[in-house]
């Protein structure tokens, strides 16, 4: 089983297009194939997914959007655009969050010394 992936990447003001054919099982098959994964599939069905969606590649989208970090406000819109792109190419996006570090709220706080290593 294989699938094709297409992406467009912008680097230095130029766009590079990639069309990749992968001749192996999808990594997401680990959570959706086989009798032992029935509980996993039942969760996806409970979310309203159809069998056709479960058969597509799952694509993880990490987003550090939060309403308390001014520099992250735009990330909600970017994540929505990425999800739309994944859908348009036949994938199923899974958005999940990660830590958002804001030095502005950590200033003059004992934890301030840890914000820069976390952010890098």
The Cα 95–Cα 93 span in angstroms is 6
The values of phi and psi at residue 72, to 5°, are: -110, 0
The pLDDT value recorded for residue 33 is 84
Name the pTM for this structure. Answer: 0.64
Measuring CA to CA, which residue among 73, 75, 70 is closest to residue 102? Answer: 70
The Cα 73–Cα 7 span in angstroms is 25
Cβ atoms of 102 and 68 within 8 Å: the answer is yes
The pLDDT value recorded for residue 105 is 67
pLDDT band with cut points at 50, 70 and 90 for residue 112: low
The pLDDT value recorded for residue 3 is 46
Over residues 7-23, the pLDDT tens digits come to: 555 556 665 555 545 44
25-29, 36-40, 91-95, range with the lowest pLDDT: 25-29
- Given a cut of 60, whether residue 32 has pLDDT beyond it is yes
pLDDT band with cut points at 50, 70 and 90 for residue 62: very high
The pLDDT value recorded for residue 69 is 85
The pLDDT value recorded for residue 23 is 43
């Amino acid at each position: 089983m294989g699938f094709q992936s297409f992406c467009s990447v912008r680097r230095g003001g130029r766009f590079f297009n990639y069309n990749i054919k992968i001749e192996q099982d999808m990594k997401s098959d680990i959570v959706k194939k086989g009798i032992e994964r029935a509980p996993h599939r039942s969760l996806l069905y409970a979310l309203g997914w159809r069998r056709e969606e479960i058969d597509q590649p799952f694509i993880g989208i990490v987003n550090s959007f939060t309403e308390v970090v001014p520099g992250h406000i735009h990330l909600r819109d970017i994540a929505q655009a990425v999800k739309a792109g994944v859908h348009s190419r036949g994938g199923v996006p899974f958005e999940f969050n990660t830590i958002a570090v804001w030095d502005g709220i950590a200033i003059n706080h004992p934890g301030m010394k840890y914000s820069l290593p976390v952010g890098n």
